[in-house]
Structure 1
Amino acid sequence: MRIPFFKYNHQKHLDELPKLKQSQDEFRILLSPSEYRIELLKAIESAKHRIYIIALYLEKDEAGQEVLEALYQAKKSNPQLDIKIFVDWHRAQRGRIGEGPVESNANYYHKMQQKYPDIHLDYYGVPVNRREMLGVLHLKGSIIDNTLLYTGASINNVYLHKLDKYRFDRYHLITNKALTDSMVNYVDQHLITASAIQKLDNPEQPSRKQIKPDIKQLRWQLSQNQYQYKADADNNELAVSPIIGLGRNNDLNQMIHHLINCTQHKATFCTPYFNLPAVLIKDIIRLLKKGKQVEIIIGDKTANDFYIPEDQPFNISGGLPYLYEVNLRNFITRLQHFIDKGLLTVRLWKDEDHTYHLKGIWIDNNWVMITGNNLNPRAWRLDLENAVLIHDPHHQLQSQFEQELESIRKHTFLVTHYQQIQASQFYPKHVHKLIKRLSRIRVDRIIKRLL
């Protein structure tokens, strides 16, 4: 049978993607944040050669302190251990949105160095753009020896379920020397050596203006380089491919587009914020028109990390979950007939007052992408993002991925009609007024591209 050129072109990109062999026995999926926290601490304690912690932020709370104390103890036990911590430079110098003046994470790192004067850890602040709103370090995946601990989670109490609340994410442990070497080499070559990168244990940090040219150079450099590795797998074996991207039309964006359009039967998406780029909306509609199944699992607006309960002081960031819900209602209204046909499945995740932070793509039973990419315009253009694409042609990991999806679906409810999504006129008055005003002057479009 002749394959249409449109489809062949997308499949060709997947076939030609360089791949690394992956052992089935060295790929584990964890199903809860507390389980991940335990495994992270175990891995730190048993590390022999290197620990690269990479996250948007490492918070100065109980979970953050637990991780840092473990790192200092590991270095004390093994002085030759190479420990490096990478976080976003902007985020490290402020508190959480809505908080008053507080000690920054960067100041906390400096105090930890003073607490352990004879043990030195390297703290690196990465400024992906001159302002946080215009791009952050959104790389995922910490490397401990030859194991990649890949999750969208940062390091704090809620992400690691240290106390009473948790933020649900995905958690993958992949032992693969070639994979981890490629990611470490990228960091060593393109982050550590860049003049824009700042050592965060230094209490005196430069201003954005002082390093603006360096940041511009760094952003250009990051947009031009990919993970480098020697492919050793073909298209008939279990394999992994690391991908990185920054800016429009980057390699990661393009691979997501090609991946979706190679769907034979079913595509499943997870994203915490329903704010898909236009190209992905078109891709999904194209699949549905071809009779393919599409499942989308999104966090309920109350499970969004920007959500502010009605009994707490409100700020503009608290309007974001409602803007995303308006997007979702419009999307379902437009595609209701595909839900009625059983082709489109939409699930909303909610578990009491816990929050949802999952991202990822499952295509048939052959391809799975683990990523921190929110599949939104900000990730598509502004942030430094990465992913690991898993090719499983013989379904060796299928049972693990099915168990992962069952765990994700556990706290979801099925949306069968757009009227199940709350209409904006029934939002709290201050929220409805804000959304109406933003929409009237079209500021909502700008906000959804930046946050």
Structure 2
Amino acid sequence: MRAPFRRSTLAALRGFESSSAAITILPSAADYRRTLLEKIASATQRICIVALYLQQDEAGQEILDALYAAKAARPNLDIVVLVDWFRAQRGLIGAGKQAGNSAWYQAQNLEHDQEVPIYGVPVQTRELFGVLHLKGSIIDDCVLYTGASINNVYLHKLNKYRLDRYQLLENKALADSFQRLVTQEILPSDAVHRLDLPSPPASRSIRGEIRQFRQRLKRASYDINEGVRENGEFRLIPLLGIGSKNPLSKVLCDLIAATQHQLTLCTPYFNMPLSVKREINRALKRGVKIDIIIGDKTANDFFIPPEEPFKVISALPYLYEISLRRFMQKHQTAVARHRLNIHLWKDGDNTYHLKGLWADERYTLLTGNNLNPRAFQLDLENAVLIDDPKSEWLTPRAEEIALLMRNTHRVGKFDELDTLSEYPMGVRTFLRRVSRVRVERLLYRIL
């Protein structure tokens, strides 16, 4: 009786009526970069770029130059950029002491006559315990939805790329809803400050404001007054979530619980919350066929080749592989029967950043949510749920899944995955140490 109950909760969600033709799937990071630049150049009303970070590199410079050029060409154009507060003020992990991207933002501001405000958004008092993980940039009446941030690898500016999903959603009501969240719930906060201006406040000095901001975000939601409940038509449903038991996390579990035939999941970091594992277990028991697309550990963005010096961050891909091996071992019967299919993605030295969910032939979830405890409890996350009750969008949907599967291979048995004894010495030593002091469980919760 669980599935019908969960399906009724999905039916109660309000969303914006649309047509399947209003969604365009871009096939690659390079296509997304070109489209983003074209959209910025042709914008006439508003541009709101939202990303975890805007990096000081060739791709970042290209995007920022395009924003300044658009503002110079059309001074009345409303432009704003949102990035994570902490991520923008530190250097790259493992790269030593660096000024961070905020110093570059300030230098760029001094070089131009126009202003492109760049705001830092803190969702927790420390980066370790929560970041701005919102997705979806607004350009006029279009929402460009992707898990990608802005740098060379995410936008395939040079030789390497990081695989993600890239959708263009042409829907004014959805774009307005995304914009109102920024202008009404985020920018007015005393915790949010411009990073392109000199001397932003120290993080320590605004801890109280950050805590108040986080509490307000827990009560926030997208404005769906123009939306409708399930009515048999194609709809786009925006979702927001932060903190434990948030609405987005609940919908994710509801989607799995409502699936009757086929479920496909993507995650770059295999570390699923207990609530998700429980729903997957129940789905397997009722006969649902489940495909999970995951990056090979060498395609993880934290992977460091064994010949390079060990860094603690480089142990993460191995932790995720250990978690995957345990999961497969528990479900080996379902794997052997092809009821559970684990697909590992690898394409040279490129990296993998896919997230999302496809439930039966009806629901498709676009999200930056990594389906891990951090996403369910710490970060500020969002999603767009595509409800397709008439199966109008099956062909583009199937084409995207096939594209994402292109560089994968199916893992037939859990013992095809490496074990601790096969890991590099530095990784083995570190993982044994954290296991002895029982830190491993904490790491799974916050990473």
TM range (shorter): over 0.9
Partner SS for 1:183: helix
Question: Which of the residues 17, 39, 48 maps onto 2:13?
Answer: 17
Residue pair 1:160, 1:166 contacting (<8 A) in 2 also? yes
Confirm or deny that 1:388 pairs with 2:384: yes
* Equivalent residue runs for 1:16-415 within 5 Å: 16-116=12-112, 118-229=113-224, 230-232=226-228, 234-415=230-411
Structure 2 CA distance, aligned partners of 1:376 and 1:422? Answer: 22
Q: Distance in 2 between matches of 1:57 and 1:268?
A: 28
Distance 1:234 1:300 in 2: 38
AA partner of residue 169 (structure 2): I
Distance 2:84 2:180 in 1: 19
Aligned partners of 2:409 and 2:338: how far apart in 1? Answer: 16
Could you tell which deviates more after superposition, 100-109 or 157-166? Answer: 100-109
For 1:136 and 1:52, locate their aligned partners in 2 and report how far apart those are by CA, in whole Å. 18
> How far apart are the structure 2 equivalents of 1:445 and 1:352?
31
1:37-58 residue CA offsets vs partner (Å, 9 max, x unmatched): 0000000000000000000000
Indicate the SS of the match to 2:338: coil
Which residue of structure 2 lines up, in the alignment, with residue 448 of structure 1? 444
**2:17, 2:236 within 8 Å by CA — same for their partners in 1?**
yes
Q: Is the CA contact 2:13–2:230 (under 8 Å) kept in the aligned structure 1?
A: no
1:210 aligned counterpart, secondary structure: helix
Using the size of structure 1 for normalisation, the TM-score is: 0.98
Secondary structure in 1 aligned to 2:382?
strand
AA in 1 matched with 2:52? L
Q: Which moved more, 1:365-374 or 1:100-109?
A: 100-109
Question: Per the alignment, in what secondary structure is the counterpart of residue 244 of structure 1?
Answer: strand
- Matched letter for residue 196 of structure 1: A
Offset from partner CA, 1:17-67 (integer Å, 9 cap, x none): 002111222210011000000000000000000000000000000000000
Q: Secondary structure at the match of 2:33?
A: helix
How far did 1:443 drift?
A: 0.7
Q: Which runs of 5+ in 2 are unaligned?
A: none
2-side partners of 1:105 and 1:209: how far apart? 19
CA contact (8 A) 2:13 2:229 kept: no
Q: Given residue 331 of structure 1, which amino acid in structure 2 is its aligned partner?
A: F
**Distance (Å, rounded) in 2 between the aligned partners of 1:328 and 1:74:** 46
- Quick one: which amino acid aligns to residue 189 of structure 1? Q
Query: 1:374 is matched by which residue type in structure 2?
Result: N
User: How much has 1:449 moved relative to structure 2?
Assistant: 1.2
Shift of 1:234: 3.6
2:330 and 2:152 mapped to 1: Cα distance? Answer: 39
SS at match of 2:306: coil
Letter in 1 for 2:346: K
Letter aligned with residue 308 of structure 1:
I
> How far did residue 237 of structure 1 move?
1.1
CA distance in 2, matches of 1:341, 1:232: 41
User: Which residue type is aligned with residue 148 of structure 2?
Assistant: A
Question: 1:335-364: CA deviations, max 9, x gaps?
Answer: 000011221000000001000000000001
| Per-residue deviation, residues 1-32 of structure 1 (Å, max 9, x unmatched) | xxx2x222201111110021112222100110
Percent of aligned positions with the same letter in both sequences? 46
SS of alignment partner, residue 137 of structure 1 = coil
Q: Distance in 1 between matches of 2:121 and 2:345?
A: 32
Measured after TM superposition, the shift of residue 239 of structure 1 is: 0.7
Equivalent position SS for 2:204: coil
CA contact (8 A) 2:109 2:197 kept: no
Counterpart residue identity of residue 128, structure 1: V
The CA distance in 2 between the partners of 1:232 and 1:128, in whole Å, is 30
Given that 1:21 and 1:233 are in contact with CA atoms closer than 8 Å, whether structure 2 keeps it comes out as: no
Which amino acid is the alignment partner of residue 363 of structure 2? W
CA distance in 2, matches of 1:312, 1:61: 23
Letter in 2 for 1:130: T
CA positional deviation for 1:120: 0.8
Normalized against structure 2, the TM-score is what? 0.99
Structure 1: distance between partners of 2:3 and 2:31:
40
Residue 422 of structure 1 corresponds to which residue in structure 2? 418
Give the distance between the partners of 1:426 and 1:276, measured in 2 at CA: 24
State the SS of the aligned residue for 1:369. strand
Structure 1 stretch displaced more, 34-43 or 194-203: 194-203
Amino acid in structure 2 at the alignment position of 1:13 = T
The CA RMSD over aligned residues, in Å, is 0.9
Measure how far apart 1:233 and its partner are.
Answer: 6.0
Q: In the TM superposition, what whole-angstrom CA distance separates every residue of 1:86-134 from its partner, at most 9, and x where no partner exists?
A: 0000000011100022231111111111110x20111100010000001
Runs of 4+ in 1 over 3 A off after TM superposition: 232-235
1:136-173 CA distance string (max 9 Å, x none): 00000000000000000000000000000000000000
Q: Answer yes or no: is the 8 Å Cα contact 1:272–1:299 preserved in 2.
A: yes
